[in-house]
Chains A and B, each alone.
Chain A
Amino acid sequence: MSRRKSLILCALACLMAPAVWSAPAAPASPPPPAELHILPVQGNIYMLVGAGGNITIQTGSDGVLLVDTGLAGMSDKVLAAVRTLSDKPIRYIIDTHVHADHVGGNEAIAKSGTTIAGGNVVGDIGSSASNQATIMAFQTVLDRMSTPVAGSPPAPQGAWPTDTYTTAERKIFFDDEGVEMIHIPAAHTDGDTMVFFRRSDVISTGDIFLTNGYPIVDLDHGGNIQGVIAGLNRIVEMAIPQDLQEGGTLIIPGHGRLCDVADVVFYQEMVIIIRDRIQDMIRKGMSLEQVKAAKPTRDYDPRYGSSSGSWTTDKFVAAVYTSLKAPH
């Protein structure tokens, strides 16, 4: 077959193929770096950097639990990294939210694991009861993956959460410690979960907390700046620092470096100060364009701002403005 015919056939096949689902991209998803890095955190917990969003790995005698799975294209590398830490099966995946840089690896990584199942469940449906890791998430993550916005196909079923919750918290006991899933309503998205490993004393925050930019408020997926602030307040409330307000509870952000609560406090103060300024401008009747022109973030821009890329300072200011104009 000539090269030209091959190209035409290939193009036709692509056009006729069913649309492939891709999870909503985070407005500021960074490109995947080539190399993954494992950072021991404390207790049972490791932080895996470089697969998209940060991945939290808990290991122990019961198996492996992952918070988030990174970008789809990084799954093989993520699995290889997990295998350097534990030869036990991956039992649980907890999705912090629906964005592709955090749930992209769900399907491949869940398939490599096994659920702990027994009793009537196994009796009724046999080995299929345990043929993949359990994927846990807040209910709206499943809603958005199974019934996405008009025009987008649903996610492949293998990537869907298999165990969802709709309450403020969900708890399991795994690898000798309590694991708390805490839902923060309408924050980064409408399906955010933070995960608190109680004995290891580590909180995995998802994208409610980042160290490399302003908070991403995904208004299209139910996000709101007031929810982000509520989430940051919650981290400050839960974490207990050691002497001099550092160490103690360690915090794994959705993106960026490993932190403790003092780092969260700086970030929380920054977000609240900017929120207060924009709230004040709204109170004075200023339009969004006037607020942008007043540059309410200009003292934090050299650290967190961006004039290019998918999540610019302008977009952040607009998201805060829109959040505050809308009822929360």
Chain B
Amino acid sequence: MRKTAIALVLGLALNGAAWAQMDPSGEWAPRFDEDRFERIPGPEIGDYLGLPINDAARLRGDSWDAALIELPENQCRAHGSDYGWRGPSNLSIWKEVDPATQKVIAYHTHLSAYGAEQTIWMDGRPHPPDYARHTWQGFSTGEWDGDTLVITTTHLKENWIRRNGIPRSDLATARVHIMKHGNYLTVAVIVYDPVYLTEPFIRTTDFVYAPQQQMAPWPCEPVDEVDRPPGVVPNHLLGANTFLNEFPANYGIPVPATRGGAETMYPEYMLKMKTMAVLPRPPKKAAPP
């Protein structure tokens, strides 16, 4: 019995790499139980709850006008690879293997939202220099930490923290941890942004194994939705966004809480919120006759 145990331990130790490295390849379907209202209908204007943002990010959000997405140059913009997991996205992961050594060179991901594809290099190559181009997906390298795939992404274009104008800058780095638990895949994204965040921003997204999944294509062609002269950028001037109080008033949430900040990420902030005043709820609209 003792010999068997030693042999088993030795066997596991010798085969450590293969044992530690789960394979995330496969078809994965999204689950929206987490942050459903932010992810599917989309976040409310002025809802910055739980975001460790600074004043600059807050003002970007306050100035943001949803009509910005109407501009042809913004209509087909993909989500950044740090945000894309959050979309209504079916996920496919496959690996690229060196035919001679059978070592994994890279993992590739395809998200149905925008058809965004990310390459995660596993062969130890360096990240490009700072003067190289940035992309929505950025440049990613991966390594194993036990059975967790840890991805580091640089060279990202500017993108969202929250889809109501709260930005993540092009100087940010994302660290993504992919963990597999049976038929579930958890993707934990940590965003480090020296421009708009005061603390790292962490959030998780879950997927379920779905081998029968059919990936839908995402063709996107910009069109002129509104006839605007070139160079018109919809935005709210300083202090002129009249929609910001709708969210705190409709949900009975104190205004300071809706403004976000690192403090609002932590559970103890809920105690503080109980001492804060809330705006009166707007009267319910009469039902149409």
Cβ contact within 8 Å between A258 and B233: no
Q: Does A96 contact B (CB under 8 A)?
A: no
Q: Does B60 contact A (CB under 8 A)?
A: yes
For the side of the interface on B, what is the size category? 35 or more
Q: Does B271 contact A (CB under 8 A)?
A: no
Q: Does B123 contact A (CB under 8 A)?
A: no
Cβ contact within 8 Å between B231 and A244: no
Given contacts A244-B77, A257-B132, contact A276 B220 (CB under 8 A): no
> What are the residues of chain A within 8 A of B220 when measuring CB–CB?
243-244
Q: Does A157 contact B (CB under 8 A)?
A: no
Which stretch in A4-12, A86-94, A297-305 binds the other chain? A297-305
Q: Output the nearest chain A residue to B221 by Cβ-Cβ distance.
A: A243
Given contacts A47-B131, A243-B220, A246-B136, contact A263 B196 (CB under 8 A): no
> What are the residues of chain B within 8 A of A273 when measuring CB–CB?
63, 233, 235
Which stretch in A116-124, A191-199, A229-237 binds the other chain? A229-237
Cβ contact within 8 Å between A298 and B132: no
Cβ contact within 8 Å between A277 and B115: no
Q: Does B169 contact A (CB under 8 A)?
A: yes
Distance (Å) between the CB of B128 and the closest chain A CB?
A: 9
Cβ contact within 8 Å between B78 and A245: yes
Contact of B131 among A39, A232, A241 (CB under 8 A): A39
> What are the residues of chain B within 8 A of A47 when measuring CB–CB?
131
Cβ contact within 8 Å between A244 and B233: no
Q: Does A168 contact B (CB under 8 A)?
A: no
Distance (Å) between the CB of B220 and the closest chain A CB?
A: 7
Cβ contact within 8 Å between A257 and B134: yes
Q: Does B129 contact A (CB under 8 A)?
A: yes
Within residues 229 to 284 of chain B, which ones have a CB less than 8 A from any CB in chain A? 230-233, 235, 237-238
> What are the residues of chain B within 8 A of A229 when measuring CB–CB?
231
Cβ contact within 8 Å between B131 and A246: no
**CA separation between A265 and B279, bound complex, in Å?**
37
**CA separation between A37 and B130, bound complex, in Å?**
11
Cβ contact within 8 Å between B56 and A272: no
Which stretch in B3-11, B16-24, B68-76 binds the other chain? B68-76
Interface code B45-77, partner A: CB below 8 Å = 1, 0 otherwise? 000000000111111100100001000011111
Cβ contact within 8 Å between A303 and B195: yes
**CA separation between A294 and B132, bound complex, in Å?**
35
> What are the residues of chain A within 8 A of B114 when measuring CB–CB?
244
Given contacts A298-B55, A299-B56, contact A245 B133 (CB under 8 A): no
Cβ contact within 8 Å between A257 and B130: yes
**CA separation between A237 and B229, bound complex, in Å?**
12
Q: Output the nearest chain A residue to B235 by Cβ-Cβ distance.
A: A273
Q: Output the nearest chain B residue to A259 by Cβ-Cβ distance.
A: B133
Distance (Å) between the CB of A279 and the closest chain B CB?
A: 9
Cβ contact within 8 Å between A245 and B171: no
Given contacts A246-B135, A301-B56, contact A37 B78 (CB under 8 A): no
Q: Output the nearest chain B residue to A237 by Cβ-Cβ distance.
A: B230
**CA separation between A276 and B237, bound complex, in Å?**
8
> What are the residues of chain A within 8 A of B231 when measuring CB–CB?
229-230, 232-233, 268, 272
Q: Does A260 contact B (CB under 8 A)?
A: yes
> What are the residues of chain B within 8 A of A232 when measuring CB–CB?
231
Cβ contact within 8 Å between B230 and A245: no
Cβ contact within 8 Å between B73 and A236: yes
> What are the residues of chain B within 8 A of A265 when measuring CB–CB?
73-74
> What are the residues of chain B within 8 A of A294 when measuring CB–CB?
238
> What are the residues of chain B within 8 A of A277 when measuring CB–CB?
237-238
Cβ contact within 8 Å between A262 and B169: no
Cβ contact within 8 Å between A257 and B73: no
Q: Does B157 contact A (CB under 8 A)?
A: yes
Q: Does B188 contact A (CB under 8 A)?
A: no
Contact of B235 among A39, A237, A276, A300 (CB under 8 A): A276
Distance (Å) between the CB of A47 and the closest chain B CB?
A: 7
**CA separation between A259 and B54, bound complex, in Å?**
27
Q: Would you mind naming 8 contact pairs between A and B with Cβ atoms under 8 Å apart?
A: A37-B129, A39-B129, A230-B231, A233-B230, A244-B114, A262-B157, A265-B73, A266-B157
